[in-house]
Each structure stands twice: as C-alpha cells, then as structure tokens.
Amino acid sequence: MTTISEAELALRETARRVLPAGGFGNIPAETVIREGRGGRIWDVSGNGYVDFLIGSGPMLLGHAHPEVNAAVAAQLERGTTYFANNEPGIRLAEAIVEAVPCAEQVRFASSGTEADFYAMRLARAFRRRERILKFEGGYHGMSDYGLMSLWPSRPGNFPQAAPDSAGIPAQVRDSMLVCPFNDLAAAEALIHAHREDLAGVIVEPMQRLVPPAPGYLEGLRAITREYGIPLIFDEVVTGFRLAYGGAQEYYGVTPDLCTLGKVVGGGFPLSAVAGRADIMAHLDRARVGEDGFLPQIGTLSGNPVAAVAGLKTLEILRRPGAYESLFATGRTLREGLGRALREAGFAVQVPGEPPMFDAVFTRGEVRDYRSTMAGDAALAKRLTVLLRERGVFKSDGKIYVSLAHDESCVRDALAAFDSAARALAAETAAR
C-alpha cells in the first residue's frame, strides 16, 4: 500500500492554492510524480508504480529511454528552437511520409488539439464548405469544434451537436454534425443528406477504446470518396501505436488526411497534420493563392528537440520484433485484467486493442459512446483507486502498454489486478 510523505502533502497544498482544482487539468491531482524510468514511475513520497498512463500515451518506449535521451542531449547543445526549418524536423517529416499511408506532405504543430483543429480547417478550405461530421464521444482535442458532443451526459438527437463545456459559442453547434460510431447506415444516410454542405468527416479509427466494426471504416471511406468529401483519421493516439503506419495500416483503410501526436514526438510537444498533397496545398500561398491560403504559424512547430526525440523513437519502433513484443505484452495484461474481474464476479468487457484497453463494467457489447456510458463508471473509478494503492498507475478510462513494460512489470500488474478485483468485490458485497 502507498504512503504519503509530508513533502508530498505540502506540494498538494501548494497545488490547491495556485492551480485551479489543484492540478493541470489532466488526471485527478492526488499524486505528485517525481520521476519515471522504463515502465515505472515514482511519486514524491517514494512510492513506485507500474505506469499504464505513460504520459497519456506518448512514452511508447517507456520513460527516460537512454537512446532518446542521448539524441535530445546532443540537440540541446545545438539549440532548442529556431522558428525556422531545421534538419531534424525535415527528416521527421520524411519519416512520416514513408511510414503513414495517407501522408504525401506533413505540417507540424505542437499539440493534438492544434493538429485536429488545422485538419478540420484544411478540409473547409479544400471543400469551401463549413460543416464537419464527427462521432459522438470522439475526442479531437480542446478546440470548440472538438469539444462538441465529446461527453454528453444527456445525449441528444442525432445529428444535433451538444456543447459539453462552458464558453463555447452557440453558433459552433451549427457547424458540426454528430453521428453514432460504428453505425454505418446512420453515417451513410447523414453524409448523403448533407453531401452539399459537408467539408469533411473526422473520426478516430479506434474511438477511445472501441475498435471499428468489420466494414465500418471501409464504408466511411467509400461514401466520402463517392462525394469527394475529405475523410480525416484522428491518429493522435493510434499513430505509430497500433502499427508503424498507424491505425490506417492496422485496419487497412487510407484516409485523405490524418493527425498525429503523442508517440511521434517521443514525449515532447509535437504533432502533425499529414495527407494528400492537393489538400495540404492550402498551407502554401504560392499554390492556392490568397483566397485559398490557410496560414498556420506556431512558435514551436517542428521544434528540433522534439523532432530528434521523434526520429529516435521511430527508429527504435522499426526494429524487428518491436510491435510483436508490444502486442504480446498487451494481450497478457488485457486477458489478465478481464480474468481477474470475472473471477471476482463482475460482468465486464475489456474493449480495445492490445496496446490500449480498459475494463467497462457492463454485460452488453461495447460498440459506441452510449454503450460505454451504460457501464458502471463508479466501479471503474474505484478500481483505478484500488490499483493505485497496489502500485499500478492508470487513468479512469485507459491502460496504455509500452515496450518498457517488462516481465517484472507484467507480474506486478497481474498480481495487482487480482488483489484489486477481490477488494472491489468485497466492497461491493458489503454495501
């Protein structure tokens, strides 16, 4: 069990004083992390954890990878940012074009939010239309557009978008359409009905933890191609995780544009929009003229420190056996989590793919946002707390697997799964 030191208690108190809600707005702020090495992290109190948060996904190689650190250290001696073209950034763009099926050209940004925002804007510039179709529960960053129908507590009628957050202008609602994920008939009907005013369709090819149903992505690809509507894959999470070429390689469907982040920056702030050259041309005034030009400026876009971290990360991922190892570890952990909870008497599904998954406490199939919300969220949150007490660090909604999760990490995690599941069952029975 974990203990809390006076030093960590003092830091928590400072955080509550100087930070809204006592944190950075990411996961709940109870724990203050001191360091990470490989597949583990330690808090300020000295408690160690098997880390299945891995920075919300970017640390696919684990924390403080020595080769990535060495590449970054070498670049630091040459400077940290230039606001100009640099060799590492150009080389990273080249590597993305070589790896990602849809990528003919690349433009860098600093966050997944920026990349998704610019991808939607590119689709609007290309089609000279305004509306974007997204899918209920799909996460496309923190822009006004991305936040529409992200986590509606009272889902409305499709295709009406719901602003889930304060501060979003009312008129944004009219520029977005919303559809259920994994319902191809609904998507086809909506795209057909709005084919004249749709600028693009943006989708996570694996929505949070929900894989696409057989034929679903293929169907989206077919109808968007039929009407000349750009299909955007948000691969900020899945890029270089499900396969070296991302979800579009893994599922065998190529979009017109995609967004990348997390893994591609090797743990540093870097994201990208990649796709067809004729759409990406709207970032080039000389090619499309003033009326079609989309300016995109970022102080740290293509930052050389992030670029060298990304280049080294991709180099390591290309080595033989990398993805086989990642998937083998993920399968063992995923099966172990499901088994522990079922043996403890819970009705549970473990949706996802081996590199990322989690438990949803429900008897029904998990195939879209609303079926996910039918799960018992209170049980999921309590499981996260019980696991943290037993040395496993995760968010309430996802387990990320890394190449640094070695046999000892897996052994400790499986033991924690069993113990936490039994404790959760005992608590449930005592109510």
Report, as residue numbers or ranges, the catalytic residues.
139, 234, 262
How far apart, in whole angstroms, are the C-alpha atoms of residue 401 and residue 51?
Answer: 9
Maximum Cα interatomic distance, the chain, rounded to a whole number of Å:
70
How far apart, in whole angstroms, are the C-alpha atoms of residue 92 and residue 59?
Answer: 17
| Angle, CA 397 vertex, CA 36 and CA 366 arms, to 5° | 145
One-letter-per-residue 3-state SS of the chain: CCCCCHHHHHHHHHHHHHCHHHCCCCCCCCCCEEEEEECEEEECCCCEEEECCCCCCCCCCCECCHHHHHHHHHHHCCCCCCCCCCHHHHHHHHHHHHHCCCCCEEEEECCHHHHHHHHHHHHHHHHCCCEEEEECCCCCCCCCCCCECCCCCCCCCCCECCECCCCCCHHHHHHEEEECCCCHHHHHHHHHHCCCCEEEEEECCCECCECCCCCHHHHHHHHHHHHCCCEEEEECCCCCCCCCCCHHHHHCCCCCEEEECHHHHCCCCCEEEEECHHHHHHHCHHHHHHHHCCCCCCCCCCCHHHHHHHHHHHHHHCCCCHHHHHHHHHHHHHHHHHHHHHHCCCCCECCEECCEECCECCCCCCCCHHHHHCCCHHHHHHHHHHHHHCCEECCCCCEECCCCCCHHHHHHHHHHHHHHHHHHHHHHHHC
Give yes or no for a contact between 14 and 369, defined as CB atoms under 8 angstroms apart: no
